[in-house]
Structure 1
């Protein structure tokens, strides 16, 4: 049995299929997605439909990202958040052309069922963005922090590697978990096109929304699988490279 954490997808169905083919995913595998399935490339609705069908065959855990929160709100009420619209929402709305009301309802139900984080049996935490509470995710006051925060990643990037994890000055919020897997902040922002590790945090968003790739990581072996760069798979589109 293998478990893979899969980074931000942003409507890139072709890239997602590439990654799953490289993994050679099997029925007994578990796939943990860290959010942002939509907004960016032209196949957001198709990604959601594909994931629904995939989850009927394979154990999948779908964590909710900030773009998923926006898309969920639109599917529920029809109201268009303007921030969402200019950050990939328009492309997502366009991708739903031809989808029936019943199909949209099924997609909405998936979004509504998504947890904001997942903790496995080995005390490994999976969430979209980060958290700020020194007591861990269960004590986070503002739930939106779990899908918007970037301070967790900023902190571990600057953490002095010589500080022992049992030290009194080691950040308390890191001590609660064996490992933490996140997306949300592209590693390409740091001139890196593969997943990055700092302290016990793994960032697996390798910039699929922009010029990067979708990444999957075997959480036990840390073997990495990646798609091609998204602009090459969608040559007539700009994604969020505006």
Structure 2
């Protein structure tokens, strides 16, 4: 049976991604839904994008746009640097692209342009980097940046009383549009976890690859979790975004 995986934030940890896909025992009929933030962190940011472009020629891949991807794309297109971006991993991407040709950079810009703000599958699941704010669902979102910047969806489910279940009068309207929602963006290491966390019908698959955590994948049908080693252990000479 074909499998479908949601894969959390990568942050340039190509060695960990390769290790993760080996542990998944990737099959040609598997679908991979990447939840964004492919760059900014470890030294393989640019190489990670190259790898993903090639991977999509072999497997069905869906690439969701992350906030770091948006920032790196803007730098590649305009050469303008955002100070906050530089402080939060941007310098690693600048360094990673130093030896890339203009042709290679253009291919990467095309990759960034073709990413999706969100993806809905036929089983009523949503895949998005950060979340959405509109009560009527992502199709009605006012600002595209909410999809890859806004943290309120995750903050909301963290604060929810677990007794409030679907059908309850206070169950958030935002959650009622989907059976499940898969996100990244906010590392679960912030709440002391290193594996994907489920709150209400939201699954957070960002397990802190940019810091001290691994890259994680979850089979969205069986909920089986696969992980790389902590990414920093594969880049012992680097500091990542610590």
TM range (shorter): over 0.9
Partner of 1:154: 155
Q: Equivalences for 1:24-39 in 2 at 5 Å?
A: 24-39=25-40
SS in structure 2 opposite 1:216? strand
Residues in 2 aligned to 1:81 and 1:165: alpha-carbon distance in whole angstroms: 42
1:162-201 Cα distance to aligned partner (Å, 9 max, x none)? 1230122110000000100000000000000100000000
Residues in 2 aligned to 1:130 and 1:75: alpha-carbon distance in whole angstroms: 25
Q: Which runs of 5+ in 1 are unaligned?
A: none
Residues in 1 aligned to 2:220 and 2:232: alpha-carbon distance in whole angstroms: 27
Q: Equivalences for 1:50-199 in 2 at 5 Å?
A: 50-199=51-200
SS in structure 1 opposite 2:238? coil
Runs of 4+ displaced beyond 2 Å: none
1:198-227 Cα distance to aligned partner (Å, 9 max, x none)? 000000000001111100000000000001
Residues in 2 aligned to 1:88 and 1:158: alpha-carbon distance in whole angstroms: 29
Partner of 1:215: 216
SS in structure 1 opposite 2:147? helix
Residues in 1 aligned to 2:117 and 2:175: alpha-carbon distance in whole angstroms: 18
1:75-106 Cα distance to aligned partner (Å, 9 max, x none)? 11111122111111111111112211001000
Residues in 1 aligned to 2:194 and 2:131: alpha-carbon distance in whole angstroms: 20
- Mean Cα displacement is larger for which, 54-63 or 83-92? 83-92
Q: Quick check: 1:20 aligned with 2:15?
A: no
- Mean Cα displacement is larger for which, 99-108 or 151-160? 151-160
Residues in 1 aligned to 2:32 and 2:136: alpha-carbon distance in whole angstroms: 27
Residues in 1 aligned to 2:229 and 2:54: alpha-carbon distance in whole angstroms: 23
Residues in 1 aligned to 2:81 and 2:151: alpha-carbon distance in whole angstroms: 25
Deviation, 1:138, is 1.0
Q: Is the 8 A contact 2:73 2:112 kept in 1?
A: yes
Residues in 1 aligned to 2:232 and 2:176: alpha-carbon distance in whole angstroms: 39
Q: Which runs of 5+ in 2 are unaligned?
A: none
Partner of 1:234: 235
Residues in 2 aligned to 1:114 and 1:240: alpha-carbon distance in whole angstroms: 24
TM-score (norm 2): 0.98
Residues in 2 aligned to 1:56 and 1:9: alpha-carbon distance in whole angstroms: 19
Question: Aligned-pair RMSD on alpha carbons?
Answer: 0.7
